[in-house]
Structure 1
Amino acid sequence: MSQDPPRRKRLPFRWLSLAEFVGILALVIAGLGYWDAHRERAQTDQQRATAARERKEEARAGALKLAFLMTGTPDGDGGRLRLASAHPEQVIQTQSLSFPREVRGEAVQTTGNPRIEAGWFDAALARAAHSGRAHTGGDEARQGRLPVGIVTVYIQDGQTRTDRAVYLLGYSLHPRVLRADRVELEGLSLVRRAGGEDVQAAVDGLWTRQAAPAP
């Protein structure tokens, strides 16, 4: 005669008391509150970090926008290059322009009339060009770039400021019968800021590197 398998005992069941239910509910509410507060704090931190990055980028963009930058516009037949700041609110007062010593031995000082004149160095530049130091070969044999260091004192927002930089002066040489080549000034491009270094030494160094033969 087979015996019935023993029945599994059921765990005792009881209803939660009101105090226990309220306690569990309080824990759930506290957990949800903590999670919500953590999420809100994380969102606030992220918003603050984003705002800080945006302010930093705006400040950097503003600084770049107002950084002093020279532009050069040929005047007439290119015998003179009119210089101006890229930002009209920056008013140029004085300038000191340094050229390679082989081209001009002393700096040129200007006041209230920012410019570069070919007559300051045209004969020496033409000689340097014919010696192979100031221009490239091939089809561009009559064109070149002359380093020039420019120290500019200017007014911005009522304050006097100074900019020190090295530029490249673009030019072309036009042969003339029984006379030195005519130098035509074409434009100006920034090489780098000179900071506190010797501008003349920076210009001479760039001039020497330009003349060095390719390896």
Structure 2
Amino acid sequence: MSDDPVAPPAPEVAAETVAIRRRWLSLGEAVAVAGVIIGGLTFWNSFEERRDAREIRAEERAAAREAALAASRRTGLIATEANGSKIAFKGVDCALQSTDIRFPKALGVTAQSTVTVHEIEAAWIARPLLKLTDGGDDRRQGRLPVLIDSLCTGPEGNRQESAIYDIAWRIEPGLFGRSLKLRGMVMRQRVTGSGGQATLDALWTKP
């Protein structure tokens, strides 16, 4: 066996080896930096998503609280009986205490109030409606808007509401002439402020 020492690599080979090592180091550093950047972006996106989710949940909870609060202030009247001569009504989920019922000014009907018995009577509006429909078809029907201010008591306390309801009516011929029959009531819109009567008058159209 030869005892000659191994010859060192040529200078150009050594330089190329160093260059290759440097390229690998640069590539490794770039990969590491890219990994750090990707990790940072992933963390930021995750943070943003969690923050957005928290904000959305907070907005949903606030909207739910607002809806519940608004509902707790409402009375919401519904008819319990409509037998032609009257419409009996009550609060949806509260004990109705009193109502003030107003009619379009052009109809010339005096405002009415209820305390213990909550009803709208056909006799209140029969004469003007029969007069307005006189001379036409004996069978007529339509809706009359009325403004009802109501006070109701629920678990959370008193509720006050002002809303316009449509009273469905029908005129029928009979043995002693035509008569007005009340058929039911349905909420048309809630009103705020002091403009309820003006809104009511604007909604009224003669039959």
- TM-score of the aligned structures, taking structure 1 as reference length: 0.72
Query: Which has the larger share of helix?
Result: 2
Specify which of 121, 127, 130 is matched with residue 126 of structure 1: 130
Q: Which residue of the partner structure matches residue 72 of structure 1? A: 79
Question: CA RMSD for the aligned pairs?
Answer: 3.4
1:83 aligned onto 2:89: yes
Q: Is the 8 A contact 1:166 1:190 kept in 2?
A: yes
Q: Which runs of 5+ in 1 are unaligned?
A: 1-8
| Matching of residues 100-139 of structure 1 within 5 Å | 100-130=104-134
Provide the secondary structure at the position in 2 that maps to 1:121.
helix
Task: Give deviations 1:127-150, integer Å, cap 9, x for gaps.
Answer: 122267xxxx7xx95111111110
Q: Which residue of the partner structure matches residue 191 of structure 1? A: 188
TM-aligned CA distance change 1:197 to 1:123, over 3 Å: same
Give the Cα separation in 2 of the matches to 1:182 and 1:74.
Answer: 19
Moved more, 118-127 or 143-152: 118-127
Q: Is the 8 A contact 2:107 2:128 kept in 1?
A: yes
Alpha-carbon shift at residue 173 of structure 1 (Å): 0.9
| Matching of residues 99-178 of structure 1 within 5 Å | 99-130=103-134, 141-178=139-176
- TM-score of the aligned structures, taking structure 2 as reference length: 0.74
Alpha-carbon shift at residue 184 of structure 1 (Å): 1.3
Specify which of 193, 206, 211 is matched with residue 206 of structure 2: 211
Alpha-carbon shift at residue 187 of structure 1 (Å): 1.1
Provide the secondary structure at the position in 1 that maps to 2:16.
coil
Question: Percent identity at matched positions?
Answer: 21
Q: Which residue of the partner structure matches residue 3 of structure 2? A: none
Moved more, 57-66 or 92-101: 57-66
Provide the secondary structure at the position in 2 that maps to 1:173.
strand
Q: Which runs of 5+ in 2 are unaligned?
A: 1-11
Give the Cα separation in 1 of the matches to 2:46 and 2:156.
Answer: 46
Asked which structure has the greater CA Rg, the reply is 2
Provide the secondary structure at the position in 1 that maps to 2:173.
strand
1:51 aligned onto 2:57: yes
How many residues are matched?
A: 192
